[in-house]
């Protein structure tokens, strides 16, 4: 079972209450209190590599993760996240699909699972700040957290985990379309989801579920990706 990163405690109460409210109505029609229908469609800016280009030209040789790496304590992760967090304000900026190179969508659990060609980038959906990296989040594979610095979901935290390498270092501020990480040569695929700043994924913070179970946070992330044209399909 995957353990996660970021426990409630900081996350905006509006965000958590909004997501928990979905449990009452049985719908994932909003993200952070904002109706999904109202989330602006992506109007991609110039991005390298160009969206749609076959990712086979990318190369990546770094290991997926170091099984012997020091696993920071939850307290260390929380401290790093809080130190890096920015008081980001909601703006009218739009997002791009961060998973443009996915070639196979998988299940919804704490987030959304997917596969990509080796070396393909996970793109910054807008201007983001890299908050922290857990080197051994699951099966010797890392997780990276970042904060959205603009758009309707500014201030919220997302993560991508597992089969990733070439991760941007904590403290980095990336422009929209820059690579947060790249798909590694081996591993268990990626998981992309919402998080909090306390070392536990939003799924665990709000419902307590672990890996392998569809969560409200996972459903919300799939809907968010679909709103950006990701064609991630329905939950399964």
Better pLDDT: 131 or 38: 131
CA gyration radius, the chain: 16
Lowest mean pLDDT among 35-39, 43-47, 76-80, 178-182: 43-47
Domains, the chain, ordered by start: 13-34+67-227 (2.70.70.10)
Question: Does 45 score more than 50 pLDDT?
Answer: no
pLDDT tens-digit series, residues 123-136:
999 999 999 999 99
pLDDT tier for residue 199 given thresholds of 50, 70 and 90: confident
Stretch 67-76: mean pLDDT: 60
Per-residue confidence (pLDDT) for residue 64, from 0 to 100: 45
Beta-bridge partners for 74:
none
Better pLDDT: 227 or 43: 227
Stretch 186-190: mean pLDDT: 97
6 in Cβ contact with 197 (< 8 Å): yes
Better pLDDT: 46 or 64: 64
pLDDT tier for residue 18 given thresholds of 50, 70 and 90: very low
pLDDT tens-digit series, residues 135-187:
999 999 999 999 999 999 999 999 999 999 999 999 999 999 999 999 999 99
Question: Does 118 score more than 70 pLDDT?
Answer: yes
pLDDT tens-digit series, residues 46-63:
333 333 333 333 444 444
Better pLDDT: 117 or 62: 117
Sheet containing strand 173-174, strands side by side: 104-108, 112-115, 190-195, 157-162, 141-148, 128-138, 173-174
What's the predicted TM-score (pTM) here? 0.70
Of 146, 172, 178, the residue nearest 47 (C-alpha): 178
Peptide bond into 165 cis (omega under 30): no
């Amino acid at each position: 079972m995957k353990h996660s990163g970021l426990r409630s405690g900081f996350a905006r109460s509006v965000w958590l209450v909004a997501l928990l409210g979905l449990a009452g109505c049985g719908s994932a029609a909003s993200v952070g209190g904002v109706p999904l229908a109202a989330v602006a469609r992506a109007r991609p800016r110039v991005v390298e590599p160009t969206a749609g280009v076959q990712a086979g030209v990318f190369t990546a040789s770094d290991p997926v993760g170091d099984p012997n790496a020091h696993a920071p304590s939850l307290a260390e992760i929380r401290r790093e996240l809080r130190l890096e967090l920015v008081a980001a304000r909601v703006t009218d900026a739009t997002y791009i699909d961060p998973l443009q190179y996915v070639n196979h969508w998988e299940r919804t659990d704490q987030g959304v699972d997917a596969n990509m060609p080796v070396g393909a980038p996970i793109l910054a959906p807008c201007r983001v700040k890299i908050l922290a990296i857990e080197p051994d989040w699951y099966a010797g594979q890392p997780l990276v957290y970042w904060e959205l610095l603009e758009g309707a979901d500014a201030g919220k935290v997302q993560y991508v985990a597992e089969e990733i390498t070439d991760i941007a270092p904590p403290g980095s501020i990336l422009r929209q379309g820059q690579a947060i990480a790249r798909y590694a040569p081996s591993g268990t695929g990626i998981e992309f989801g919402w998080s909090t700043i306390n070392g536990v994924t939003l799924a665990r913070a709000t419902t307590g579920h672990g890996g392998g179970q569809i969560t409200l946070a996972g459903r919300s992330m799939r809907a968010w990706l679909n709103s950006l044209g990701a064609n991630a399909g329905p939950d399964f």
